[in-house]
Amino acid sequence: VCRIAAALGGSSGPPPPGEVWIGDDAAVLSPPRGRLVLSTDAAVAGVHADLSLVGASDLGWKALTATVSDIGAVGARPCYAVVTFCVPPGTDVAGLTAGVAEASARWSCPVVGGDVTGAAQLVVNVAATGELDGSDPPVLRSGASPGDDLVVTGPLGASAAGLRLLQEAARTAVQHRRDPTAEEAALVGAHRRPLARLAEGVVARAAGATAMMDISDGLAIDLNRLADASGVGFALDAVPVAPGATEGEALGGGEDFELLIATRDPWSLAARFAAEGLRAPIRIGRCTADPLERTLAGRPLGRLGFQHRLQ
């Protein structure tokens, strides 16, 4: 516990005056400037990461990143995280904590407490707080209206394609393996170290987005969830596919963590993204009045997506 606390606490630096971080029963923290946001996510070895293909550090990175992505997906900024490690004997604890610490630093979300316990299966659980500035409402899944445009913050399917490449490489005899191309390396990187679109979430809220969520289970599943929550249908024109990924991976692959956004004013959204130096949002279609209409290029789009089960 002390070693883990040192690794995580050290990476986060000392707490500001008046705050208590790792080491006591609970952390004591400055209150959020606006409303309090709270989210949690578990990353399970063998479910969310195949540790024969990626490192324990990647599992740690993913657990923290997935949690702050949920905070960003309502338009808030992450503030603090607490982490639980359930660790079987032989776990690469140093790698695990390093991955959590790297993500914590990357997303400016210090780890202020945690718990370590023995277990038969490796689980990293992260809970994080965030703050929602100002008096505008959060951007929920349920706010989309017929006619709203649907956009995503980037092409999809990279994480699933990266996993496929790692699985293919593992099946290839060592003497037949070759160096990955730059495109392949990017896909593997997207699988191992996905990014949370935190700035995009804040800017989308400021630009008046009507509904938002992060795409963690695949566009097909998550877009249907947004449509269900909003009571709308959707008509997609096309889906942006990450270079080297397939359309199936873009629709059904999970853990890209790009944001799915509904907006009445896609031009204003694009202008705000450009003003903040963010990648241009990509229009994929629009919301429709008939809640039963769920189409891609005129054909029905079901919920085939990533079910958090590898293979």
* Distance between CA atoms of residues 190 and 197, nearest Å: 13
The span of 174-182, 207-215, 237-245, 270-278 binding its own copies (CB under 8 A) equals 207-215
* Distance between CA atoms of residues 257 and 261, nearest Å: 12
* Distance between CA atoms of residues 261 and 210, nearest Å: 8
Subset of 53-72 contacting its own copies (CB under 8 A) = 69-71
Which residue in 13, 16, 108, 121 binds its own copies (CB under 8 A)?
121
Bridge partner residues of 131 (DSSP): 36, 77
Please report, as a single letter, which amino acid is at residue 211.
Answer: A
* Distance between CA atoms of residues 291 and 90, nearest Å: 50
Is 27 or 187 the residue whose CB approaches its own copies more closely? 27
Which residue in 8, 54, 82, 227 binds its own copies (CB under 8 A)?
82
Residue 178 Cβ vs its own copies, minimum distance, rounded to whole Å: 35
The span of 78-86, 97-105, 179-187, 286-294 binding its own copies (CB under 8 A) equals 78-86
**What one-character-per-residue DSSP string does 81-126 give?**
EEEEEEE-TT--HHHHHHHHHHHHHHTT--EEEEEEEE-SS-EEEE
x/- map, 1-30, its own copies, by CB under 8 A: -----------------x-x--xxxxxxxx
Q: Which residues of 54-64 are buried (b: 16+ CB within 10 A; e: fewer)?
A: bbbbbbbbbbb
Which residue in 22, 49, 86, 188 binds its own copies (CB under 8 A)?
86
Which residue in 42, 169, 206, 278 binds its own copies (CB under 8 A)?
42
Which residue in 120, 173, 174, 292 binds its own copies (CB under 8 A)?
120
Residue 172 Cβ vs its own copies, minimum distance, rounded to whole Å: 28
Q: Should residue 228 be labelled a site residue for its own copies when binding is judged by CB under 8 A?
A: no
Residue count (the chain): 311
Cβ atoms of residues 106 and 199 within 8 Å: no
**What one-character-per-residue DSSP string does 145-191 give?**
-TT-EEEESS-B-HHHHHHHHHHHHHHS-GGG--PPPHHHHHHHHHH
* Distance between CA atoms of residues 89 and 3, nearest Å: 16
x/- map, 124-153, its own copies, by CB under 8 A: -x-x-xx-x-----x-xxx-----------
Is 122 or 301 the residue whose CB approaches its own copies more closely? 122
Which residue in 41, 58, 255, 256 binds its own copies (CB under 8 A)?
41
